[in-house]
Chain A
């Protein structure tokens, strides 16, 4: 039965649905000041977030600026076929996965470890100093940090190479060496973020009930065992949530870092999806193809986060939704 039929049989329904409409309208009217406040933000999100999301349809077109999004010819999945049959995308995808897996493998536990170590410090000044120093790189741009890193790893005057030379080894041009470049990306990422990322775990550790440690002290348990049996299990919910949130990083590479450290000698191991998107889309102006690459990346990232969240839901209570 359609709506009209119901109304015809029972006029009360019509009145009820109309009054429901009126109450919704009234609720908005009652809160008009709130929506006046919210309006600029909604407008901002429509223009600067939802328009670009609508704009991903150029990934299925052969987009030309002069023809616009609606006027450009539709090509379906051609751009995606080009991606997977072309010579360049798959190596870039592989680089992205390898670099990000290493970053997750080493970079994810690093701040947890740092937080645990910092928590063992009983001298506030020492603790504060170490924290302040490790925060430092976090606040600087990758351009400044790259300048510093290149200088530090310089084959002619970088201290590491001076040290290698003193020990009788040949100097290594780390930044331009395919065997070293990925390790440089992973270690400098940790250098930049470890101190700041430790904050969340330090807060979690501070929230652990001190009676647990006191009871362990009475039993004469060693510090290492306390970490293993009390600290780690207590902060595991936070670890799970952070793991879900960072899981999308498996495909979301750090453009700022890689673009500023990348050079021709190491592009075979260091060119990743974002730098590839930039070269294809902005420099070569293959807008549609580059948009397809970007769309592929965003979809994979979303699927990974949702999957991680689903798995976490199955095995524990810790989820982000």
Chain B
């Protein structure tokens, strides 16, 4: 039987939970509301005192500046190109590697799995990887952004675990008809693996959309730079210069232009992530299964 006091304390607790979560959601969103508002405000409003969470008047000159900035659009193209290339390459390599590793009868399976998994726990680090890319002659090429991270051990294991769950009977009946392993992979495993491959594609896509450090290390040509790095030059270098880090750089970009660039760069992700989050959730959950 529920006692009165329990009901009362439960009511207070539930009220507390709703309050905390509402506050969390608001606090998470406020910084975004601020930059959206400032990006579409005139300089007077940007510099005026007070909160800027909801636009009071509209001035899109910041966005107009962004639209006329060729560097931003070249970088946009570069980012799209690297993302598409990397997703394609990652999908092919990950899928091809995951299928054999999912087979219990693969000779020395433990060794080959360990060969891949070991890299999760130990790596050469920043400098040896940098020297490798240099020695391979990939500097200033888009392949320096695509090849070094082409296979993620984590995603490979997710796909392997997924394929492992596909009933063997499906493959055996095809094998009786004389199909070889490559045919089975293409005609039977691939169609069934689409959900997990969507997860791989999305993880890889978001990673490459947001990646910038490799571009900072390997790409010298301004025309080949990715969007995030151009964003960094426009938004952060100006601010850091203001705080005294980088000297001698005159910053001609207005505040609203900086924030308009920021909005333009995150817009694709902002638009798609609410609809794609279930694939990411799935990825996290499959990945957490031991095996």
Which A residues contact B (CB, under 8 angstroms)? 24, 27-28, 31, 33-38, 40-42, 44-45, 47-56, 58, 63, 65, 69, 114, 117-118, 120-121, 126, 129-137, 139-141, 143-144, 146-152, 156-157, 159, 162, 173, 175-176, 191, 195-196, 199-200, 203, 217, 220-224, 238, 255-256, 259-260, 263-265, 274, 277-278, 281-282, 287, 290-291, 294-295, 297-298, 302, 305, 320
Contact = CB atoms under 8 A, between A and B. Distances in A.
A217 B134 CA distance: 65
A167 to B, nearest CB: 14
B31 A52 contact: no
Contacts of A42: 97, 112, 115
A148 B35 contact: yes
B284 to A, nearest CB: 5
Contacts of B30: 152, 159
A150 to B, nearest CB: 5
A146 to B, nearest CB: 6
A141 B208 CA distance: 10
B125 A297 contact: yes
16 contacts: A33-B181, A38-B96, A48-B149, A51-B128, A55-B127, A55-B129, A129-B25, A133-B25, A144-B210, A148-B35, A159-B34, A173-B243, A199-B281, A260-B236, A264-B245, A277-B127
A93 B21 CA distance: 36
Interface residues of B, number: 104
Given A44-B151, A140-B269, A282-B130, A55 B262 contact: no
B110 interface: no
A214 to B, nearest CB: 13
A147 B35 contact: yes
Nearest to A35: B100
Interface in B1-55: 1-3, 6, 9-10, 13-14, 17-18, 20-22, 24-25, 27-32, 34-35, 38, 46-47, 49-53
B126 A281 contact: yes
Interface stretch (B60-68, B101-109, B191-199): B101-109
Contacts of A191: 27-28
B265 interface: yes
Given A144-B262, A222-B13, A130 B21 contact: yes
Interface of B: 1-3, 6, 9-10, 13-14, 17-18, 20-22, 24-25, 27-32, 34-35, 38, 46-47, 49-53, 93-94, 96-97, 99-101, 103, 105-107, 112, 115-116, 119, 121-132, 134, 136, 147-151, 156, 180-182, 185, 206, 209-213, 217, 228-229, 231-232, 235-236, 239-240, 243-245, 258-259, 262, 265-266, 269-270, 273-274, 277, 280-281, 284-285, 288, 290
Contact of A55 (B124, B150, B281): B124
A130 B269 contact: no
A44 B38 CA distance: 46
A28 B107 contact: yes
A37 B132 contact: no
Nearest to A142: B210
B244 A263 contact: yes
A298 B17 contact: no
Among A24, A37, A150: residue with most chain B CB under 10 A: A37
B236 A147 contact: yes
Nearest to B31: A152
